[in-house]
Chains A and B, each alone.
Chain A
Amino acid sequence: MYIALKDLQEYYMKPGSISWGILFPFVFALAFMFRHGGLTTWLVPGMISLALFFGATSMSGMSIVFERRIGSFERLLLFPASYIGIALGKSLSSFFLGLVSAVPIFLLAYFILHVIPVHAILLVLAIVLASFASSSFGVLLSFIIKEPEQVMVILNLVRFPMMFLSDVIIPVSLMPHYLLSIVLIQPLTYMTEAIRYASTGSCDIVSPLAAYVVSFLIGLAFLLLAAYAIKRSRT
């Protein structure tokens, strides 16, 4: 928790976190809204999931890569903390930024478009799982990036294809059949499906249970892999 609070103090106002974590998803949602027939009930869960995903991954990318570059990350390895504890701490700050990133989309969806979620409690759960999985993914991804200047380039290289291949803005029904297997291996697909079920009462491609369970499991798997990457960062 101390690591998360420290990261929020240190990085929440960094341009990378603000521009790619908060502004980009919001502007993206606005663009769909102003387009004729734009931000539909179907699209709202995708936009929420996208905001969570971009927000959570941007923060960890900023903090870990920057700290590794200037040598601050190594300070964390000198404290009597477990590697999972460090990964969780790093993940938590990103988790909070993910939640913050989703707020403007909520405001757009529920106050302007009057999209009311079908299962409010499940929506909270889905958002928590999606933000957890995204932040852990961001922590893990940060260990393959060496330079701070590369952070957004590499993150976007990974995030943009996922955005188009995860039933976020393009329905699977409009995609060629052979892309379905790619959609099914995208973590973002399960996060979006969980949010979609809570918002609209139905999923597009997987069962609601699978959406929630897989979202949790991939979050956990990314967290464990991130802890392993932290351990491996000792030379």
Chain B
Amino acid sequence: MDECAIRVEGLKKAYPSGTIAVKGISFCVKKGEIFGFLGPNGAGKTTTVRMLVGLAEITSGKVEICKYDVSKNRKHVQRLIGVVPDISNLYSELTCYQNLLFSAKMYGVKGSIARKNAEEILSFFGLERYRDMKFKALSKGLKRRLTIAAALVHNPRVLFLDEPTSGLDIISRRLLWDELIELNKRGITIFLTTHNIYEAFNISHRVAVINKGKIVVVGTPQELGRKFSVKEVIEIGFYPYNPEPQDLLHSIKGALDVRRSNGYLELIIDNEVDALEGIVSYAKHKGLGISLLRLKEADAEEVFLKIIGERIDR
């Protein structure tokens, strides 16, 4: 059931200069999941991905993709994976269709199947009307989508994406997230490298955080949110009126602070069970009704900073 599509054991990368970019990391990406690989710039994300896909020599350790050792079966592994680099680097003078056909043929897909795959993938990404347009004439968002399409034209089992939405506007980014989720539903395991916390937390089933060449933590976005939550916030609305914040603060066990926000009250707490009991008792005691009671999720950015153990001094 929980078979690893990617298994990494003690992976290390040392450069001749003596710099150790990746310091013996291990993790498993389960078959069929979207795995976010999150870290700040220079954390070792890209170096790790380059080793996973056979673009960089492995100093020590082992990488298996679909049970094949990358070091020993580079060409076989490359048939099973699609790789989207952090830049849209298709060939500028070729049309969208020619670029896809070239990729398909280079992956060993033959004649009519290559043509069929190219047409299908153009259709999946809604690029049919740009079919005969040169790559250089496309907008940034379309270039990005075609670059992803080119990595899928041979029907890979695992898709690696390095900063897929970097530099895209909000609409293009959301569209791309939806397309990635749809691809994942079709059975493709996705390894998503990003420094965008929201991207990792929004679309990944699990997230690994890397910092200074080491994996700091692996877990679902919810687990990470709970584990590293700074302080939780409950948003409350009472009727017929909201009480004074200070009154609420002194009446509820475990309440750290109360502030007004958009007609409601925000209660900062360190234990949600105690706080919820306290809110219900408080409402009964004061004869108030509750119009809104919502536990706000921890802010992903704060969670990330807490995970990597750094703070921003403003």
With A234-B56, A235-B50 known as contacts, the answer to whether A79 contacts B106 (CB < 8 A) is yes
Kindly state whether residue A72 has any CB partner on chain B within 8 Å: yes
Are B78 and A72 neighbours in the complex by a CB distance under 8 Å? no
Q: Which residues of B contact A6 (CB under 8 A)?
A: 91, 94, 102
User: Beyond A2-B106, A80-B75, is A71–B89 a contact (Cβ under 8 Å)?
Assistant: yes
CB of A88, distance to nearest CB on chain B (Å): 14
The tally of CB-CB contacts under 8 A between chains A and B is 61
Asked whether B53 is an interface residue with its Cβ less than 8 Å from the other chain, the reply is yes
With both chains docked as a complex, state the minimum distance between the C-beta of A97 and any C-beta of chain B, in angstroms.
15
CB distance from B231 to the nearest CB of A (A): 43
> Is A174 at the interface (CB under 8 A from chain B)?
no
Closest B residue by C-beta to A71: B89
Q: Which residues of A contact B56 (CB under 8 A)?
A: 234-235
Q: Which residues of B contact A10 (CB under 8 A)?
A: 91-94
Q: Given the complex of chains A and B, what is the CA–CA distance between A10 and B55 in angstroms?
A: 24
- Whether the pair B107, A80 counts as a contact (CB closer than 8 A) is yes
Q: Are B85 and A9 within 8 A (Cβ)?
A: no
A70/B89 contact (C-beta < 8 A), A10-B94, A77-B55, A78-B83 known = yes
B222 CB-CB contact with A under 8 Å: no
A2 touches B89 (CB 8 A): no
Quote the shortest CB–CB distance from B272 to chain A (angstroms): 47
Output the least CB separation between B157 and chain A (Å).
14
Name the A residues within 8 Å of B90 (CB-CB).
72, 75
In the complex formed, the residue of B with least CB distance to A3 is B106
Count residues of B near A (Cβ-Cβ below 8 Å). 27
| A190-234 interface code vs B (CB 8 A; 1 in, 0 out) | 000000000000000000000000000000000000000000001
180-228 of chain B: CB within 8 A of chain A: none
A75-93 CB contact bits vs B (8 Å, 1 = yes)? 1111111100000000000
Determine if A147 is an interface residue (Cβ-Cβ < 8 Å): no
* Residue numbers in B under 8 Å from A82 (CB-CB): 75
In the complex formed, the residue of A with least CB distance to B91 is: A10
A77: nearest chain-B partner, CB-CB: B55
Q: Which A residues between 75 and 120 are near B, CB-CB below 8 angstroms?
A: 75-82
Enumerate B91-108 residues with CB–CB distance to A below 8 Å: 91-94, 98, 102-103, 105-108
Q: Is the CB of B89 within 8 A of A79?
A: no
In the complex, which of the residues A74, A80, A81 has the most CB atoms of chain B within 10 Å of its own CB atom?
A: A80
List the interface of chain A (C-beta within 8 A of B): 2-3, 6, 9-11, 70-72, 74-82, 234-235
Q: Which 7 A-B pairs have the closest CB atoms?
A: A79-B106, A80-B75, A71-B89, A80-B78, A10-B93, A72-B89, A2-B105
Residues of B within 8 A of A (CB): 50, 53-57, 74-76, 78-79, 83, 85, 87, 89-94, 98, 102-103, 105-108
Known: A6-B102, A80-B76, A235-B55. 5 other contacts (CB 8 A): A10-B91, A10-B93, A72-B90, A77-B55, A80-B79
Instruction: List 25 A-B residue pairs with CB atoms under 8 Å apart, sorted by A's residue number.
Output: A2-B102, A2-B105, A9-B93, A10-B91, A10-B92, A10-B94, A72-B89, A72-B90, A72-B91, A74-B89, A75-B85, A75-B89, A75-B103, A77-B54, A77-B55, A78-B54, A78-B55, A78-B78, A78-B83, A79-B106, A80-B74, A80-B78, A234-B55, A235-B50, A235-B56
